[in-house]
Structure formats: C-alpha cells, structure tokens
Amino acid sequence: MDVKVIRWGILGTGGIASAFARDLAFAKNTEKTAVGSRTIESAEKFAEEHGVSRAYGSYEELVQDPAVDAIYIATPHTFHKDNVLACLRAGKAVLCEKPFTINSGELEEIIQFARDQKLFLMEAMWTRFLPPIDKVKEWIDRGEIGEVLLVKADFGFRAPWEPERRLLNPALGGGALLDVGIYPVTFASMIFGTNPEKIMSSAHIGETGVDEQFSIIMSYPSGKTATLNGAFRVDLTNEACIYGSKGSIRIPSFHSAKSATLYKNGEEAETFKDDRQCAGYAFEIEEVGRCLSQGLIESPVVPLDESLKIMKLMDEIRGQWGLKYPFE
C-alpha cells in the first residue's frame, strides 16, 4: 500500500506540542509543515527550535494553510471543542490531545460534525499504539493468562501548588480525572470494554474546587473488576497490572510503556522490551497517516464511539463527586 506524506500543522506551542514535534522526526511519511500560536513570537521560536517550515501568529492562519493536511491540537482541553471545529471547518484531518473535550456533550458535537463532513478525527491516546501495549493485547488474545479477572492501574504525580494554572484551576477544566485519570480509565476500557455494570468512586476535592486525587472501582459481568487511582498531589506507582486465571501481566509506567512482563503460573517470566528512540508519539502519528492513506475517517484502534463512551464514563464519575465546571 502506498502511504502518502502527511503535512502536519501543530496548533499550540506548549510542552506536549514540543514532544509531538520531536517525535515527528521518527514517524514515517511526515512533514513538519506549520505551527500556529496566539503570538507570532511564540510560533517563530517553536518553528526554529523544531524545524517547522512556517509559523503563524494565530490559529486561524494555521487552519487555513492549504499546504497542511492534518493538524495536531495541543491546547488545554477547555479549548479543544472550538479548536477541533475550526480545523474541521477548514477541511483538515484532526488529531486532538486528550482528553478530547471537557464532557460528552462537547464530544458528541464535534464527532457529529466530523462524520457529517467525512473528515478524519481521532483522540491522541498515544498509549494505545505503543509496542508494549500491542504485546499485552497479543498475550491476552492468545489466552496466555487465561480469563482476565482484575485490572489495576494508577497514574499520579506531585504537582507544584499553582492554583491559577491549568491543573488546579476549575476555569481551565482542572482536576486529576481529566488530566491523568483518562489513562487508567482508558486502559481498563481497553481490557474490559466501555460498559461497566457499576461504578463506585471517591475523590478528594481540594480548596480550588477540583479533584486532587481519586479512586474508582468498575464492576463488569462475571465478577470482573478494575481498580483505578489518579492524583497530582501525590506520587503513585504509575503501573498497570492485569490478573487472569492462569497468570498476570505487569506494565511499569504504563501510560508511556517501554516494557511489559508476562507471569504465567509455574513458568519463567517473559519480558517484552521496547528499544524505541522516540518518546512514543510517533506511533499514533503513523496511525493517522495509515488511516488517511486508506481513506478512513476514524481509527479502528481508537474509534470515536469508544472515545465518546469513555468521556461519558468520566462524566458519570464527576457526577458522583458533584464536580461541575463553572462554564458547563
């Protein structure tokens, strides 16, 4: 199959945009075509640092560039809906950083628009494309650990106390669930699906009014369970463990996984190691290129309906805490 070169535009110039730009160099059939920021100074600095051909001092100039095929959205999630719609209205394919939007209502709107316009749209859940995660799915599909019964996944870190910045600011969609919690929630959904029978959760709501840490138990048919934790006021192990009737799998730093170990009852452990040079965003970048070359408008690995169901799960969890953002 011929894979065409995808000319990328990057919307935003923050830390995640820089990581994405660096990984573009490791992805096949890509060009760093343009970057857009709210100021020309920021865009030009980013372009110089990362070898991007053109710099724009507004997002609108970027989305209107006819040389750009696909746009990666790297802004805070409160802006995702408007940014995605602007790109889609300009006829661009879109890879949007997670969480896709603030809530499922916003996500339903942009999914419907993309489908109506027959344009590609995908959530940038890069974890799903990492080689160790592919190996984990292969082990499970082969029945290496038997019937999967329990999933545990934690992701958290101790962030500095900066109440006006994104993580702790309710006006910017702050809170641990949307920022880091989407990783364990998505991981559990990858293993067990997006339709738990019951969700029980608790959270510590801090003085700024957002969740600083949380715990979730999701129950599925046949007694299957996922236990998930997230935080950004305390360091967690950041690992995922999958337990089955014949063994288990452990994935250190699962959100950015570079290894996974299979433990089969009574047998020597088997470890898969990924020796990649890139951070790991290159794999989702190549997935966009593959989909566009095949004429697909969504990824079969991270389909839009799955992203929507996960967002609805997070809506339900926030509802249990009574956490509503001031702009909702």
Closest CA to 153 of 226, 235, 64: 226
Average pLDDT of 29-35? 97
Distance CA 75, CA 57 (A): 15
What pLDDT shows up at residue 266? 82
How far from the centroid of its chain's Cα atoms is residue 160's Cα?
A: 23
Distance CA 76, CA 57 (A): 18
Question: Phi-psi bin for 266: left (phi > 0), alpha (psi -120 to 50), beta?
Answer: left
Average pLDDT of 40-60? 97
pLDDT band at residue 3 under the 50/70/90 scheme: low
Tokens of 78: 């409160």
What pLDDT shows up at residue 197? 97
**Axis-axis angle for helices 182-192, 131-141 (nearest 10):** 30
The overall average pLDDT reported for the chain is 96
**Overall size of the chain counted in residues:** 328
CB 100 within 8 A of CB 80: yes
What pLDDT shows up at residue 2? 61
Distance CA 235, CA 120 (A): 37
DSSP 3-state of 113: helix
**pTM for the whole structure:** 0.95
Q: What is the pLDDT of residues 247-291, one digit of tens each?
A: 999 999 999 999 999 999 888 999 999 999 999 999 999 999 999
Tokens of 154: 């934690």
What pLDDT shows up at residue 28? 93
Closest CA to 49 of 69, 20, 6: 20
- Domains and their CATH numbers in the chain: 6-126+281-297 (3.40.50.720), 131-273+310-314 (3.30.360.10)
Does residue 4 carry a pLDDT above 90?
no
Does residue 204 carry a pLDDT above 70?
yes
What pLDDT shows up at residue 250? 98
Q: What is the pLDDT of residues 89-102, one digit of tens each?
A: 999 999 999 999 99
Beta-sheet pairing, 121-124 with 93-97: parallel
Average pLDDT of 9-38? 97
